[in-house]
Amino acid sequence: MASDQNKLAVVSGGTKGIGRAIIEKFMEEGFDIITCSRNEEDLEAMKSELQEKYSGKVYISQVDMSEKEEVIDFIDFIKLTGRSVDVLVNNAGVFLPGTVHEESDGSLELMINTNLYSAYYLSRGIIPGMKERKSGHIFNICSIASIKAYENGGSYGISKFAMYGMSKSLREELKPDNIRVTAILPGATYTSSWESVDLPEHRFMTSEDIAEAVFMCYNLKGNTVVEDMVLRPQLGDI
């Protein structure tokens, strides 16, 4: 039976891809989950599937993570559960291809808001409770684009470089509080955003492998932290 004694993971953007796989892995390991998405139907369908498959609780909230006010409301939703957050996974993100000098006006703002500010504000809302308990683990789902510029990466690369920088800052700030911070930098992972690309599926990594890597990092003894984990397809970047 699920109970408030289960550990709790918060995963932003959890209905698809890497976020969904991370939720499934942590529930498989006995966690309860709080997650969000812009699409309420997707959230309800996922909650029903997960609670039929696993014993843990799933709390859902419809949130547009590109909007600061909605991120703050999500933090309030998390607090209203009365639960302590053991793991935070900043996963929400958006990718619009383009070049810095030619992409549509507003691309930078949208991707900074979604890929960086959402993680910034959500972390600020969760960290005080972790500091009080002197425990917790924050995962920032960055990207290979956090460390390498790509053709048509544009503002996406800018936002992911910035998220990686935030992750490094948090790592230094939270050392004394026994809070671990890990940046996950995945290369091409087969999700819905790649389905129209004319490449075989085996050329990509799987979301499930990323989730396994995240849980492995979490499951290490408390006096060890994986600061950065870079994962690429075996045959290299796409």
Q: Summarize pLDDT for 63-76 with one digit per residue, the tens.
A: 999 999 999 999 99
**CATH number of the domain enclosing 67:** 3.40.50.720
pLDDT > 70? residue 2: no
- Interval 101-117 mean pLDDT: 97
List % helix, strand, coil for the chain (3-state, nearest 5).
Answer: 45, 15, 35
Q: What is the pLDDT of residues 209-238, one digit of tens each?
A: 999 999 999 999 989 999 999 999 999 998
- Provide the H-helix boundaries in 29-139: 40-53, 68-80, 107-112, 118-133
Q: What is the pLDDT of residues 154-209, one digit of tens each?
A: 999 999 999 999 999 999 999 999 999 999 999 999 887 666 677 888 899 999 99
Q: How confident is the model at residue 93 (pLDDT cuts 50, 70, 90)?
A: very high
- Interval 68-96 mean pLDDT: 97
* Neighbouring residues of 126: CB distance < 8 A, sequence distance ≥ 6: 10, 75, 78, 85, 88, 136, 138
User: Model's pTM, two decimal places?
Assistant: 0.95
Residue 91 lies in domain: 8-231
pLDDT > 90? residue 106: yes
Domain count, the chain: 1
Q: How confident is the model at residue 110 (pLDDT cuts 50, 70, 90)?
A: very high
pLDDT, residue 195, reads 67
Q: Is residue 56 part of a domain?
A: yes
Q: How confident is the model at residue 1 (pLDDT cuts 50, 70, 90)?
A: very low
Q: Is residue 1 part of a domain?
A: no
Q: Is residue 237 part of a domain?
A: no
Q: Is residue 3 part of a domain?
A: no
Q: Is residue 227 part of a domain?
A: yes
Q: What is the pLDDT of residues 22-48, one digit of tens each?
A: 999 999 999 999 999 999 999 999 999
Q: Is residue 236 part of a domain?
A: no
183 C-beta neighbours (distance < 10 Å), count = 26
Which of 202, 187, 192, 193 lies closest to 238, judged by CA? 187
The Cα–Cα gap between 139 and 152 comes to 26
* Neighbouring residues of 84: CB distance < 8 A, sequence distance ≥ 6: 8, 129, 133
Q: Is residue 61 part of a domain?
A: yes
pLDDT, residue 156, reads 96
Amino acid at 13: G
Q: Is residue 144 part of a domain?
A: yes
- Interval 105-113 mean pLDDT: 97
pLDDT, residue 16, reads 95
